[in-house]
Amino acid sequence: MKVSPIRNEQDYDNALKRMSDLLGKADRASKDEAEVLQALTEKWERANHDLPPPSPLEAIRFRMKQQGLEPRDLVPMIGPRSRVSEILKGRRSLTLDMIRALHRDLGIPLKSLVGEDEDASNAVPKLSKAAREGLAAFGIMKEREGYAAFRMRAFDGGPPSAYLRKTRTLRTNAKTDTGALEAWCAAVLLKAESIKLPKKRSAPYAEFGPTLARLSAAPNGPTLVAGALAGVGIIFVALRHLPGTYLDGAALCRSDGTPIIALTIRHDRIDNFWFTLLHEYCHACHHLNGETNAILDDLEVKSVASEDDIEQQADTFAQNALLPQSLSAKLVDPELTPEDIEAIAEQAGVHPAIVAGRWQREHADYRRFSKMLGRGEVSALLFIENDD
């Protein structure tokens, strides 16, 4: 292992590339080299790249740069040029009328303009080494972009807490690393920004659920999901989970309000993929709104109807879309054979893994039919391009 200090941007780029090459290698030498490179790149980023949490003034300047505005363009929102100058120099605070005008005319989040950045929850979180490596492997961060800048870009110049406070997280693991969770959401939002939907599309509707489920019967079913969801106005993103997030999937809103379904394929099985997909589809249809712009799910966490009715609704929706009640009733038989599983799947028009997984859960027997679940097949289809 030969590692040199990072003295310039070229050294930094080379270190990032080498770290990417080392990802996934299990030998001691590779792990040691990656750990040293991680420490060096973090030190360089802290000194050269990271930005402080955005203030109201920084949010205004970010939007001005983004839209190519001059100080004179703020006169209709703030008042005379002398007042604009005082605001931009930090000598004067924003009034309520200014905040309303800047939000209305420039689309700057209200939470940014009222000084939410002073909240400690908006401080740039320290990502774990594993989370930083995972985030770098996504290939979504710009060249020489530090995490603080990446974070600001993902949340449209405003503080992440303004977005995440409108997030349902009742079905997340108590051990969740909130910094890694925020980073994953940021990566999903930025990846979704580059995806264009067809002009001719419908709005999401519940009756589309069974149609989506029947795509599972195709050998390449997971690869058909993005196109199918685009037809009903939903963006699909498959993005590996970051360590510490404990996520299966999420339903989120893009900055323009477009719904996003994002799956991590954390449990790489065909049955889990389709259940999670239909669960999040229900959220996208019924539960994303002005009050909730993100719903994050660890489906290993049991949902209690009295506490979280939308999760119960999404579970039931996914079950019925994948397997009608008339067919699911056949799963009460504890003596079903693989041939029986395949016959029920054929009647439902879905992949046998879905029926096998459902039988396992209902009988709490996870050994029987385990070879029918399609382990490893989903990631092989969805992540092959990234892995290459």
Please give the Cα distance from 237 to 253 (Å, whole number): 12
pLDDT at 159: 60
**What pLDDT score was predicted for residue 40?**
83
Low-confidence stretches of the chain (pLDDT beneath 50): 51-53, 116-121, 306-307, 385-388
What is the domain count for the chain? 1
SS3 assignment, position 185: helix
Distance of CA 79 to the CA centre of its chain: 39
Domain presence at residue 77: no
> Looking at the domain assignment, is residue 189 inside a domain?
yes
The answer to whether residue 136 sits within a structural domain is no
User: At residue 37, what is the residue type?
Assistant: L
pLDDT at 120: 45
Would you state the pLDDT for residue 388?
41
| Within a domain: 7 | no
pLDDT of residue 151: 87
Q: What pLDDT is recorded for position 193?
A: 94
Print burial letters for 90-113: b (CB count within 10 Å at least 16), e (below 16). Answer: eebebeeebbebbbeebebbebbb
Sign of the CA dihedral with 314 first, then 317, 323, and 329 last: positive
Tally of helices (H runs) and strands (E runs) in the chain: 20, 5
For position 307, what pLDDT does the model report?
46
DSSP state letter for 73: G
Contact 138, 187 (CB under 8 A): yes
Residue 152 in any domain: the answer is no
Is the CB of residue 106 less than 8 Å from the CB of residue 353? no
* Residue 55 located in a structural domain: no
Distance CA 178, CA 160 (A): 12
Residue 366: domain span: 166-388
SS3 246: coil
Residue found under tokens 């506490």:
307
Q: Is 180 exposed, middle or buried (0-12, 13-18, 19+ CB in 10 A)?
A: buried
Instruction: Kindly state whether residue 178 falls inside one of the protein's structural domains.
Output: yes
Whose CA is closest to 281, among 196, 192, 208, 223? Answer: 208
pLDDT at 233: 97
Q: pLDDT value at position 255?
A: 86
Q: Specify whether the backbone of 264 is left (phi greater than 0), alpha (psi in -120 to 50) or beta.
A: alpha
Count the alpha carbons within 13 Å of 228 in the hemisphere toward its beta carbon.
19
In a domain, 27, yes or no: no
Long-range Cβ contact pairs of 337-341 (< 8 A, separation 24 or more): 338/369, 338/372, 341/369, 341/372
The answer to whether the pTM exceeds 0.75 is: no
